[in-house]
Amino acid sequence: MLKNYIKIALKVLGRRKFFTFISLFGISLTLVVLMVATTVLDNVFAPRAPESKFDRVVGVYRLGMYGPNFNSTGNPGYRFIKEYVLGLPGAEATSVFSNQSMLAMYHEGRKIDTHLRRTDGAYWQILDFEFVEGGPYTEADNENASFVAVITDDMRTKLYGRGVSALDKTFEADGQRFRVVGVVRAVPITRLVGFSEIWAPIRTLKTREYERQWMGGFGGIVLARKRGDLEALRSEFKRRTSAFVFDDPKMYNRIEAGLDTPFESAARNLLGNQVKGNRALVLQLILGGMALVFMLLPTMNLVSINLSRIMERASEIGVRKAFGASSRTLVAQFVVENIVLTVIGGLIGFVLSVAFLAALSRAELIPYAVFDVNLRVFLYGLLLAVFFGLVSGVYPAWRMSRIQAVNALRGGAL
């Protein structure tokens, strides 16, 4: 029966080429836009290498300090991370690292624009980089302020040429000479904690000024033993920071910070500390709302096209009813027709998305990012296609079922 339905549906769609084209155009391009957006979001926020353990990692990426005359929000300083994040009870591991800073290197008379991040040793345990050669530096290297560095394979090519081993070779950055101990696979710039092109121990910073600053330039992460521990860690952090002692209470007397997932951190950045409660949920709702509004137009478009298709076929429907088709079979036929249409549109959209994302990766608009459509995103897309089919088919079908055979046959209306 269903096979029959689908066969008829394909025939009808083939006959109405213009409308089939409009519908397919709308469905597939809407899906492309949504799939590309989901893929980019997935690429930024989902746990993937080197942040594959980030389903149980939370971090402090933003600190707000408030006082009667001054407000200051930004990245936390080293001192804050050291005193309130490092060694948080109950955590499997904790780490402190600087923001990646932009850096111009002058290597053998060439200028190389790159990024440098300084980290402690634990950073390498919480993140799982894929080492092409060598390995990470250790906390002992950090303690001793050893001038050692990890670089990406891309950086290795820029410094020493393609395929040349970099181990124990040196380079100069910001007036300091580092020895390469490890080379990792390049990381997309979209990774909040994982991205950089050169990594070096924190202690290699030129001055120790950073050790006394509450604000600026650093971040800290906490790895939980299991996902269930995250809440306990958050409340422990809250308990600790509530006892924050202010250097000068006349200047600042209140701080705002929390252990965030990367998505929660984005929500905190976009919505600000003022929005209380579940900021991540708010951001999700906003994004979902945008997607809904975005889908509204294509849906309305499909509904109106479908409606006019039905009205055009009113007399055909009348004939069918007169020959004994029940309303239900007609509605079923129409809904099947519509779902066939949207699934075809979905497939086209899927192919187009894959092509577009491949082009996007190749264009290197976002350095080192590789956008592949994963299964999850594909399932979202499929779900959307079916949703489209239902929404745009059901109302017209309902209208169709109410067409009276007599009226439809008489066609009396002009």
Partner 1 sequence: MIRLENVNKVYRTDRVETLALQNINLDVAPGEFVSVMGPSGCGKSTLLNLIGLLDAPSSGGLSLDGASVAKWGDGRLAQFRNEKLGFVFQSFHLVPDLKVVDNVEIPLLYRKTNGTPRRKLAQAALDRVGLASRVHHFPTQLSGGQQQRVAIARAIVGKPRILLADEPTGNLDSAMGEEIMDILHDLNKKDGTTIVMVTHDERFATRTDRIVRLFDGRQVA
Partner 2 sequence: MIRHLLKLVWNRKRANALIVAEIFVSFLVVFAVLTGAVAVAGGWGKPIGFQWQNVWDVSMDFDIDGGQKASPELHASVMRMLDEVRALPQVAAASVSNTPPYAFSTTEGRRNINGKDVTVIIDDVTSGFADTMQMKVVRGRWFNEDDEISQHWPVVVDTNFVKEVYGNADPIGQKFEEDENLFHQIVGVVEPYRKDGETSAPMNMMFRHVANNGKHGRLGSHILLRMQPGTSPQFEVELASRLRQVAPEVSFDVRQMERMRTNMLRTRLAPLVAGGIVGLFLIGMVSLGLTGVLWQNVTRRTREIGLRRAMGASGTRVHRQILAEVAVLATIAVVIGSIIVWQLPVLGAFSFVSPSAFTLGFAGALATIYGLTLLCGLYPSWLASRLQPADALRYE
Q: Does 412 bind partner 1 (CB under 8 A)?
A: yes
User: Per the omega criterion (within 30 degrees of 0), is the bond before 262 cis?
Assistant: no
Partner interacting with residue 104 (select from partner 2, partner 1, none; CB below 5-8 Å by kind): partner 2
SS3 (DSSP) at 28: helix
What Rg do the C-alpha atoms of the chain give, in angstroms? 29
Residue 413 touching partner 1 (CB under 8 A): yes
Q: Which is nearer to partner 2, 269 or 315 (CB)?
A: 315
User: What DSSP assignment string belongs to 102-138?
Assistant: EEEEEETTEEEEEEEEEE-STHHHHS---EEEE----
Helix or strand run (H / E) with residue 350: helix 327-363
Contacts (CB under 8 A) with partner 2, residues 300-329: 300-305, 307-309, 311-312, 315
Q: How far is the CB of 162 from partner 2 (least distance, A)?
A: 24
Q: Tell me the β-bridge partners of 95.
A: 221
d(CA 241, CA 199): 29
Nearest-angstrom CA–CA distance, 156 and 161: 7
- Going by their DSSP bridges, the two strands 218-224 and 57-60 should be labelled as antiparallel
CB of 309 to partner 1, least distance (A): 20
**From the CB of 408, what's the least distance to partner 2, in Å?**
12
Residues in contact with partner 2, shown as a per-residue x/- string from 282 to 301 under the rule CB under 8 A: ------------x-xxx-xx
How far the first Cα of the chain sits from its last, in Å, is 36
Residue number, 7 or 410, with CB nearest to partner 1: 410
- Least Å from the CB of residue 404 to partner 1: 12
Stretch 109-138 residues interacting with partner 1 (CB under 8 A): none
Q: How far apart are CA 291 and CA 295, in angstroms?
A: 6
22 binds, among partner 1, partner 2, none (CB under 5 to 8 A by kind): partner 2
Contacts of 371 by beta carbon, 8 Å cutoff, 6+ apart: 36, 39, 40, 43, 357, 358, 360, 361
Site string for partner 1, 367-386 (x = CB under 8 A): --------------------
Q: Binding partner of residue 94 among partner 1, partner 2, none, CB under 5 to 8 Å per kind? A: none
**Total interface residues for partner 1 by CB under 8 A:** 3
x/- binding map, residues 350-369, to partner 1, per CB under 8 A?
--------------------
83 binds, among partner 2, partner 1, none (CB under 5 to 8 A by kind): none
Site for partner 2, residues 254 to 273, rule: CB under 8 A: none
Give the total of residues touching partner 2 (CB under 8 A). Answer: 53
Distance of CA 79 to the CA centre of its chain: 30
Q: Does 216 bind partner 2 (CB under 8 A)?
A: yes
Q: Does 414 bind partner 1 (CB under 8 A)?
A: yes
Q: Cβ contacts of residue 202 below 8 Å, gap of 6+? A: 78, 96, 97, 98, 118, 119, 120, 142, 210
The H or E element containing residue 3 is: helix 2-15
CA dist., res. 257 & res. 232, Å (int) = 16
Site string for partner 2, 103-122 (x = CB under 8 A): xx-x--x-x-----------
CB 204 within 8 A of CB 176: yes
Q: Which does 412 bind (CB under 5 to 8 A by kind): partner 1, partner 2, none?
A: partner 1
* CA-wise closest residue to 72 among 81, 62, 84: 62
Q: Which residues bind partner 2 (CB under 8 A)?
A: 18-19, 21-22, 25-26, 29-30, 33, 65, 69-72, 74, 77, 101-104, 106, 109, 111, 174-175, 205-207, 209, 213-217, 251, 294, 296-298, 300-305, 307-309, 311-312, 315, 411, 414
Q: Which residues bind partner 1 (CB under 8 A)?
A: 412-414
